[in-house]
Amino acid sequence: MRTVLVLGSTGSVGTQTLELLAANPDKFQLVGISGNSNTELLEAQRVQFGLPIDRAVLGPELAADLASELSADVVVNGITGSAGLMATLSALRAGSKLALANKESLIVGGSLVTKLAAKDQILPVDSEHSAIAQCLMAGQKSEVSRLILTASGGPFRNMSRADLENVTPAQALKHPTWSMGKVITTNSATMVNKGLEVIEAHILFGIGFENIAVTVHPQSIVHSMVEFYDGSVIAQASVPDMKLAIGFAIGWPDRLAHSTKPLDFTQSHRWDFEPLDEDVFNAVKLARQVGQAGLTFPAVYNAANEQAVEAFHRGEISFLGITDTIDKVLQVHTPGPLSLESVLASESWARRTADSLIAES
């Protein structure tokens, strides 16, 4: 019986994690939850799983405290944004397995996170990185030629920059495949999310940016691939359901039975792969530059994006203004050596700078 702490329990990853725990009461015991603003759902979850009042908390700071205090076997970090960094650090220090859906904390924290982590302590919950982890089981790291991340292309696949000028917030939230929150759905539309995933893949798997490719796969069935140096390409395929990646992480090293329905190969399937136009969706190109520069640049990229996404949804900037804002903030950033203090300071600076640029636009 594994004890599990679910941070961000009221979000998409969190609610699906609780569904898996409820379906496997012989394998997992929920010991705590945290949420952000949906207090009614948080309380309903607490009652459903019979948790004490002090094991259901609001806000990322108290979430980090829970991770420290409970020392759960597995901590699922589904907090949105860089606010999840402290919880990530707390879980690792406590010795818990970290099922990480909060990619921002890894990207922002970089080596601050990886230096704390033991082998196999961080288990990726992103479908793409879960897929890569599964594909890598087919060979040795020394045999890897490339990691190939798939992208659905979002709602604006094949559009030109001119087409994107007048995109509305409502259109940006209509993802063709996944049901997710506002920020990550918008990030998928701008391809910022794929840019973050490129950086995350580099950090998680230690593969150079020049050997991490992105391909557009609209059906979202192949979640990512690994190319080995003999020319073999191993792909992980499943229906687009986050429960498989969540189940793989919380059940590691064993697979969790019946996490999702298998593909039905008695029916016809069409799997398309297209190149990503990184001139139109320049967030990925920017992310590669940011990842290679390192230091506090990834924290600035992420923080500027979070501010720009909120401004877009308030109608203050255009859709293209999101990545334009990120680019402008990066151009005036003076990086510092990587420490928790410098990361937090750089994030704060990036948010102020982004807000100032947005106000002037």
Q: How confident is the model at residue 104, as a pLDDT?
A: 87
Whole-number pLDDT of residue 234:
98
160 token code pair: 């030109």
> Torsion angle, CA of 229/238/209/84, rounded to 10 degrees?
-140
pLDDT at 116: 95
Taking a C-beta distance cutoff of 8 angstroms, is the pair 104, 81 a contact?
A: yes
Residues recorded for the chain: 361
Q: What's the gap between Cα 10 and its chain centre?
A: 16
The dihedral through the CA atoms of 37, 40, 41, 46 has a sign that is: positive
pLDDT at 54: 96
Structure tokens at 349: 């600076």
The residue ranges of DSSP E strands in 184-280, in sequence order, are 212-216, 222-228, 233-237, 274-275
Q: Which residue has the tokens 């292309």?
A: 153
Contact between 248 and 130 (Cβ < 8 Å): yes
Residues of the chain with pLDDT under 70: 178-179
What 3 state SS string does 272-322 have? Answer: CCEECCCCCCCHHHHHHHHHHHCCCHHHHHHHHHHHHHHHHHCCCCCCHHH
CB atoms within 10 A of CB 306: 22
220 closest CA partner among 179, 171, 170: 179
- pLDDT at residue number 82: 86
| Longest CA–CA separation in the chain, Å | 57
> Which pLDDT does position 179 carry in this prediction?
66
**Are 113 and 105 spatial neighbours (Cβ–Cβ below 8 Å)?**
yes
User: Please, what are the domains in the chain?
Assistant: 2-125 (3.40.50.720), 126-240+261-293 (no CATH), 294-361 (1.10.1740.10)
Q: Specify whether the CB–CB gap between 109 and 184 falls below 8 A.
A: no
Q: Report whether 297 contacts 333 (CB < 8 A).
A: yes
For 62, residues 6+ apart whose C-beta sits below 8 A from its C-beta are: 34
Nearest Cα residue to 159 out of 248, 276, 65, 66: 276
State residue 196's pLDDT score. 94
Residue 343 contacts residue 296 (beta carbons within 8 Å): yes
